Amino acid sequence: MKFFADTADLDEIRELASMGLLDGVTTNPSLVAKSGGDFKETIAEICKMIPGPVSAEVVALDADGMIAEGRHLAKIASNVTVKVPLTWDGLKACSTLTGEGTMVNVTLCFNANQALLAAKSGATFISPFIGRLDDIGLDGMELIEEIREIYDNYDFRTEILAASIRTVNHVKQAALAGADVSTVPPATLKALVKHPLTDKGLEAFTADWAKTGQKIL
Ligand code: G3P
């Protein structure tokens, strides 16, 4: 499974990229507002750090506006992935932009039929929002499973990008359900390494090593 960082924070992206952990980045208007940076400059910076897809979201609500914004954003770098919402106009924009060779991430997906439409429209990525479905008492992971089955049934090449990931368990479940990508907030990505027995074991090794009085360097 590929890891994307779900953030517009340049320092966080830099650290994760330096470890070779990142296959891409996703941003959205809320994350850009949180980072406080200039949108297009931020996207350009991220694209320099990460060779993989970097999602930049349009804000127009009509297809023509989305297409114009998408074309503008796509000029920033060859790895810009234009993110459009899962609306009728968003699907029109997806179809046009993918036809021009631009990668498109269709976002705000909350059911399997929406995902089917996105794949039919040629989306590079579909972004089902797991956490927001869980928030309203539904099962976000069930949606990933349904989309996986549908895409496999018809051999759709659209990649399932599990989004709105809030917990380490979401990451594991998305991997088990066959999501192609998980886009994860950096804090959650770092939390994947944690296990109390790892800490306990390391504590014991450190204490026993001290008893030997030896040094490696
Ligand atoms: O990738 C979409 C993500 O940023 C939304 O996450 O936690 O706001 O539902 P959240």
pLDDT tens string 92-150 = 999 999 999 999 999 999 999 999 999 999 999 999 999 999 999 999 999 999 999 99
Q: Which of 87, 67, 23 is nearest to 13 (CA)?
A: 23
Among 1.10.357.10, 3.30.70.270, 3.40.50.150, 3.20.20.70, name the CATH number for the domain at 2-212. Answer: 3.20.20.70
pLDDT tens string 69-85 = 999 999 999 999 999 99
Average pLDDT, the chain: 97
Which residue's CA is the closest to the ligand 1 atom numbered 3? Answer: 164
Q: What spacing in Å lies between the alpha carbon of 163 and ligand 1's midpoint? A: 6
What is d(CA 96, CA 193) in angstroms, rounded to the nearest whole number?
A: 41
Mutate which of 4, 6, 170 for ligand 1? The one with the most ligand atoms within 8 Å of its CB, which is: 6
Domain-by-domain residue ranges, the chain? Answer: 2-212
Q: What spacing in Å lies between the alpha carbon of 183 and ligand 1's midpoint? A: 9
pLDDT of residue 111: 98
Catalytic residues: 83
Q: What spacing in Å lies between the alpha carbon of 131 and ligand 1's midpoint? A: 7
pLDDT of residue 124: 98
Tell me whether strands 80-85 and 181-184 are parallel, antiparallel or unpaired.
unpaired
Which residue's CA is the closest to the ligand 1 atom numbered 7? Answer: 164
pLDDT of residue 151: 98
Confidence of residue 13 (pLDDT cuts 50, 70, 90): very high
